[in-house]
Amino acid sequence: MTTQPQQAAAKQNIEGIKHIVAIASGKGGVGKSTVAANVAVALAQSGAAVGLLDADIYGPNAAIMLGVEGSTIHVQQGPKGQSLEPIVNHGVKLVSTSFFVRPDQAISWRGPMLTKLIRQFFADVTWGELDYLIVDLPPGTGDAQLTIANSFPITGAVIVTTPQKVALADARRGLKMFERLNVPIFGVVENMSYFIPPDLPDRRYDIYGSAGGEHAAKTLEAPLLGCIPIEIEVRVSGDAGKPIVLAQPASASAQALEQITQQITVAVTDLA
């Protein structure tokens, strides 16, 4: 393993895509897909042209969260080879492995197959003109992250974590990997930051000792983009395929996600 910065190899620009924003985490289950789906929908609501690339090949959940589970993707044979037509809902164009496999089918492709598929998801999809391509990464620092960071010009990465020490430790590893690969870090999203009981919506319980995300930002040495509370509605809306920014825009979680989306647009503009 090298600790040297990787050489910037020739990266493939994808025609028509202005900004690629990667949503990453060290651990699974911290809310990456939830953040990716909500940010994508919030951007689309603001009038931007948005795609969501589900790069979590072995655990694809984006189709459920966007309410297009079970859709069939169309593969066209063109003069330049195969092209895939994304599935559109809530104003977001989505591509995911879940469109290619049955729900009960185990996905156990080896590394080269994963790499090939991820490249196809970027390059062989008729994304059209996009202001933002949001990439829902798998957890950790594996083949998918390396392939994407080395092959495509990621505008910036957002690291999602929960406040616990174990999540932060893994998030730090993920963040360091992006730094080594010369991918700019937009900042940290602290999810499940505090709990709002549905029957007492004015109460806040700091279950994991978040202290308002301060500890996360300090540990990761990165700007805090926002703190999302634990709210039952976040899970319910995700399962129902209607992200909380659409289902309950006035909720504390939706407000936090809108603020995070806003911060991402600012970070993108600052880099331009």
The contact set with ligand ADP (CB under 6 A) reads 25, 28-34, 61, 191-192, 228, 230-231, 234-235, 238, 253
Cα 165 to Cα 41: distance, rounded to the nearest angstrom = 30
56: DSSP letter: -
Nearer Cβ to ligand ADP (168/228): 228
Give the tokens for residue 228: 């999302």
Q: Which does 234 bind (CB under 5 to 8 A by kind): Mg ion, ligand ADP, none?
A: ligand ADP
Give the tokens for residue 188: 């940290």
Residue in 268, 184, 266, 172 with CA at minimum distance from that of residue 217: 172
Nearer Cβ to ligand ADP (130/228): 228
CB of 192 to ligand ADP, least distance (A): 5
Q: Which does 231 bind (CB under 5 to 8 A by kind): ligand ADP, Mg ion, none?
A: ligand ADP
Indicate the SS3 state at residue 214: helix
Cα 263 to Cα 75: distance, rounded to the nearest angstrom = 36
Nearer Cβ to ligand ADP (37/130): 37
Cα 75 to Cα 71: distance, rounded to the nearest angstrom = 13
Taking CB under 5 A as the rule, does residue 33 contact Mg ion? yes
Taking CB under 5 A as the rule, does residue 155 contact Mg ion? no
Nearer Cβ to ligand ADP (146/240): 240
7: DSSP letter: P
Q: Which does 55 bind (CB under 5 to 8 A by kind): Mg ion, ligand ADP, none?
A: none
Nearer Cβ to Mg ion (33/115): 33
Q: Which does 19 bind (CB under 5 to 8 A by kind): ligand ADP, Mg ion, none?
A: none
CB of 78 to ligand ADP, least distance (A): 33
Contact 176, 44 (CB under 8 A): no
Contact 228, 253 (CB under 8 A): yes
CB of 242 to ligand ADP, least distance (A): 12
**Which residue type, as a one-letter code, is found at position 208?**
Y
Contacts to Mg ion from residues 3-32, by CB under 5 A: 32
CB of 180 to ligand ADP, least distance (A): 22
CB of 113 to ligand ADP, least distance (A): 22
Q: Which does 25 bind (CB under 5 to 8 A by kind): Mg ion, ligand ADP, none?
A: ligand ADP
Q: Which does 70 bind (CB under 5 to 8 A by kind): Mg ion, ligand ADP, none?
A: none
**With b meaning 16 or more CB within 10 Å and e meaning fewer, what string describes 179-209?**
ebbebebbbbbbbbbbebeeeeeeeeeeebe
Taking CB under 5 A as the rule, does residue 38 contact Mg ion? no
Give the tokens for residue 224: 């805090």
272: CB partners within 8 A, 6+ apart: none
